[in-house]
Amino acid sequence: MTRRMAALAAAVLAAALAFAPASSATTRQALPKHQLTGYWQNFVNNAKPLKISDISPNYDVIALAFGNADSARPGAVTFNVDPELSTALGGYTDEQLKSDIAAKRAEGKTFVLSIGGEKGNVDLGSEANVANFVDSVGKILTDYGINGFDIDLEHGLNVPNTTSAIRQLRERVGDDFVLTVAPQTLDVQPGGSYLQLVDNVKDILTVVHTQYYNSGSMSGCDGQVYSQGSVDFITAQACSLLKVLRPDQVSLGLPAAAAAAGSGYVDPSIVNNALSCLAAATDCGQYTPDQPHPEISGVMTWSINWDASSGNAFSDPVRTHLDSLP
């Protein structure tokens, strides 16, 4: 082969690689080994309102909360800057939001559109509704430059139809698709609806970050009952998910401040101890895992805004601890 031919072949190969779809493994590796996920509030409450550009660099995955049900089109979802939030931020526009998302993505951050929340719900009770959901969410992901979506449906879950919607969106987006799931504790107890959903889509699932708050006492995988607010409450429930998912698909969801949830706030030191217990079998309470899981994904918090309200009192120590894990 001549030098000119070799150079041409190299150029063709480089071009092919540039446009080739990423493999699932490549997609997973694009996220940090130990992630910190936070929800950005697209509404106004007592937490500090934030532009995307003002989010702390502590966060790796940013969930945009929330996509809203389209009252005129069952199953469909709408998303844009909340008018009250725009006013609170001095006129934050959709175009500014898109630009801020693009800038954060250039820094290596990942975005998901969260569907549901405490007050939200999307009706996926029919195939027509599923089609509306897939079409509308797919367009939002494209328009705003979002990597995927987060399921936080708290008012009933149609498992077969939600499974279908997820897989259709995965086909539409491709291998770079990011899927996160935020079940309440009861929903991932044996027989829980989210446990069924997780089992259906675990081959394309990025991470489950169970909400270990706003919960009563729950059974751990060791058969003991634990009250929220302790290392054991977190670790002995995470154990159940670790039996059906890879460790890198399991994350721990906690509120960023006492005001962020009705109950279940714990000091960041408790969160860090739970991480150490699961990752290295150290700093455990009564429950100790049968084996350490050094690939444990990380932590999710509600919310980035509440964290900012306290001067990053949650994310600073948790980020430092995540970076210290093996």
Question: In terms of Cα–Cα distance, which of 300, 306, 269 is closest to 285?
Answer: 269
Choose the catalytic residue: 84, 154, 171, 295: 154
Residues near 20 by Cβ (< 8 Å), separated by ≥ 6? none
Class of the CATH domain delimited by 29-324: alpha beta
**Is 0.85 topped by the overall pTM?**
yes
HSE value, Cβ hemisphere, 13 Å, CA-based, for 156? 7
- CA dist 221 to 98, 185, 215, 286, 292, Å? 43, 13, 17, 12, 15
Question: How crowded is residue 245: how many other Cβ atoms within 10 Å of its Cβ?
Answer: 18
Separation CA 149–CA 307 (nearest Å): 22
Q: What is the pLDDT along the chain (326 residues), one digit of tens a residue?
A: 333 333 333 333 333 333 333 333 333 436 899 999 999 999 999 999 999 999 999 999 999 999 999 999 999 999 999 999 999 999 999 999 999 999 999 999 999 999 987 666 889 999 999 999 999 999 999 999 999 999 998 777 999 999 999 999 999 999 999 999 999 999 999 899 999 999 999 999 999 999 999 998 999 999 999 999 999 999 999 999 999 999 999 999 999 999 999 999 999 999 999 999 999 999 999 999 999 999 999 999 999 999 999 999 999 999 999 999 98
**Is residue 171 among the annotated active site residues?**
no
Separation CA 161–CA 212 (nearest Å): 26
Strands 250-255 and 110-117: unpaired
pLDDT at residue number 120: 66
Is residue 58 within 8 Å of residue 315, measured between CB atoms?
yes
pLDDT at residue number 117: 73
pLDDT at residue number 184: 93
pLDDT at residue number 262: 95
pLDDT at residue number 100: 98
Separation CA 8–CA 204 (nearest Å): 37
Question: In terms of Cα–Cα distance, which of 164, 203, 201 is closest to 183?
Answer: 201
Residues near 280 by Cβ (< 8 Å), separated by ≥ 6? 292, 294, 325, 326
pLDDT at residue number 116: 84
